[in-house]
């Protein structure tokens, strides 16, 4: 296990400061000697350990540093090197935790008066030594505090990275769901319409050639619409403003036929409404009409669209055979489930009611 300090520059910087202070003291004292050379060499060795710390076990590194700090202090005649001992709890905090760091810091603070007692009799009455002891204890406290702040900052950064990864994953999932809804609501509708029209053309090819040709034309229109919507989805820039009323009118015109009559009633003003909400209502209408064509056997469908200051409402009611809501038909399918999710994201809701006399879907979105 190796040390992984968030602030690796503290130790070498402090060693360089001690080295500069010791060299300056030697020059001022005019006493450069082998002792001073050893002092400088040990400090450079400490800086080398900081460079190689990732390759040395943490316990070995801490013991080696402590031994070198003691040796440096033994060779130091200026007394500045005792500040190196604050690095013991500072470095230990990152590897062994707060409790060990506090124990080591307290031990270092307690060791200094013992050293003073051995080397300087009567130091308790000398202000400079008492001041040194107080400043050393304060340095220990600040070193531990700095280590704690650095560890918490690193933990916060790790948590932030994890949160960002989770957000990225959720965004990707949300985008996949959005694309799935778009594909289902757009291409799914048009493919269903194409299938219905081609079945009609096949059935009436001999009995009603003009009607069969109209069905083929409607199928071709649905294919063109599907292609256009795919192009618009891929190339959204420069797209013309979306008009829900026009889109519904065009859709109804191509779904109306001999067996199915669809009408649209619009109240209120559409201009200036959010495109996202209007698109959601259009997709809901597509899904509802697709289900009606495939399952209901209805002959009449009525769409009611109403705009107001707070939102818009769309009701799709048919006179088909309906279904049993308790069996979950239509509720668990991807189409209506996707419709519910899309509307819910816009602060709206979807209600579904069905009887043997027909089915009614009510959708509300808010601005």
pLDDT of the residue at 300: 93
Burial 293-309 (b: 16+ CB within 10 A, else e): bebbebeebbbebebee
Report the CATH number at residue 329: 3.30.565.10
pLDDT of the residue at 232: 63
CA distance 221 to 242: 19
Residue 282 lies in a domain: yes
| Run means of pLDDT, 10 residues per run, the chain, 367 residues | 65 90 78 78 89 83 91 85 91 90 93 89 88 91 92 87 81 72 68 80 82 81 75 55 85 80 92 86 85 82 93 92 63 63 85 89 90
Residue 144 lies in a domain: yes
Residue 170 lies in a domain: no
30 and 150 co-located in one domain:
yes
Q: Which residues pair with 317 in a beta bridge?
A: 302, 360
pLDDT of the residue at 89: 94
pLDDT of the residue at 85: 92
23 and 153 co-located in one domain:
yes
Backbone phi and psi for residue 32, each to the nearest 5 degrees, phi listed first: -65, 135
Residue 319 lies in a domain: yes
21 and 154 co-located in one domain:
yes
255 and 344 co-located in one domain:
yes
157 and 253 co-located in one domain:
no
Residue 202 lies in a domain: no
pLDDT of the residue at 2: 42
25 and 144 co-located in one domain:
yes
pLDDT of the residue at 71: 92
* 315 φψ region: left (φ > 0), alpha (ψ -120 to 50), beta (else): beta
Residue 261 lies in a domain: yes
Looking at 109, 144, 165, the residue that finishes a domain is 165
Sheet with strand 349-355: strands edge to edge: 261-267, 300-307, 311-318, 358-366, 349-355
CA distance 255 to 248: 10
160 and 250 co-located in one domain:
no
32 and 156 co-located in one domain:
yes
Pick from 362, 225, 222: nearest CA to 303: 362
pLDDT of the residue at 143: 92
- Summarised one tens digit per residue, pLDDT across range 187-233 is 776 777 788 778 878 888 878 888 788 888 878 877 877 777 776 66
pLDDT of the residue at 329: 44
Boundaries of domain holding 136: 10-165
E strand map for the chain: 261-267, 300-307, 311-318, 349-355, 358-366
pLDDT of the residue at 292: 83
135 and 257 co-located in one domain:
no
pLDDT of the residue at 178: 67
Looking at 165, 200, 223, the residue that finishes a domain is 165
153 and 264 co-located in one domain:
no
151 and 264 co-located in one domain:
no
Looking at 116, 140, 165, the residue that finishes a domain is 165
pLDDT of the residue at 1: 40
pLDDT of the residue at 163: 86
Pick from 3, 128, 131: nearest CA to 62: 3
Q: Domain count of the chain?
A: 2
pLDDT of the residue at 238: 44
pLDDT of the residue at 325: 67
Residue 191 lies in a domain: no
Residue 1 lies in a domain: no
251 and 132 co-located in one domain:
no
């Amino acid at each position: 296990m190796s040390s992984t300090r968030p602030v690796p520059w503290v130790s070498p910087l402090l060693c360089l400061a001690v080295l500069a202070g010791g060299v300056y003291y030697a020059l001022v004292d005019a006493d450069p000697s082998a002792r001073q050379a050893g002092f400088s060499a040990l400090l450079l060795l400490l800086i080398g350990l900081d460079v190689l710390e990732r390759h040395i076990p943490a316990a070995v590194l801490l013991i080696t540093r402590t031994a070198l700090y003691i040796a440096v202090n033994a060779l130091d005649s200026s007394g500045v090197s005792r500040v190196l001992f604050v690095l013991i709890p500072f470095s230990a905090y990152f590897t062994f935790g707060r409790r060990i760091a506090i124990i080591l810091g307290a031990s270092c603070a307690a060791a200094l008066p013992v050293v003073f007692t051995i080397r300087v009799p009567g130091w308790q009455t000398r202000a400079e030594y008492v001041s040194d002891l107080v400043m050393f204890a304060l340095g220990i406290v600040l070193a531990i505090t700095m280590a704690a702040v650095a560890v918490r900052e690193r933990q916060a950064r790790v948590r932030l990275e994890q949160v960002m990864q989770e957000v990225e994953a959720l965004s990707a999932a949300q985008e996949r769901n959005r694309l799935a809804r778009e594909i289902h609501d757009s291409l799914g509708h048009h493919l269903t319409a194409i299938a219905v029209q081609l079945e009609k053309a096949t059935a009436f090819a001999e009995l009603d050639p003009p009607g069969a040709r109209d069905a083929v034309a409607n199928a071709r229109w649905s294919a063109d619409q599907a292609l256009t919507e795919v192009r618009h989805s891929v190339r959204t820039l420069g797209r013309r403003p979306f008009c829900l009323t026009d889109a519904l009118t065009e859709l109804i015109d191509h779904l109306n036929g001999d067996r199915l009559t669809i009408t649209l009633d619009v109240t209120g003003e559409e201009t200036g409404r959010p495109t996202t909400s209007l698109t959601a209502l259009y997709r809901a209408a597509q899904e509802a009409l697709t289900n009606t064509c495939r399952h209901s056997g209805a002959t009449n469908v009525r769409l009611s669209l109403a705009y107001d200051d707070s939102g818009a409402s769309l009701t799709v009611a048919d006179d088909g055979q309906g279904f049993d809501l308790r069996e979950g038909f239509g509720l668990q399918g991807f189409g209506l489930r996707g419709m519910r999710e899309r509307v819910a994201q816009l602060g709206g809701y979807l209600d579904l009611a069905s009887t043997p006399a027909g089915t009614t879907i009510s959708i509300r979105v808010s601005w």
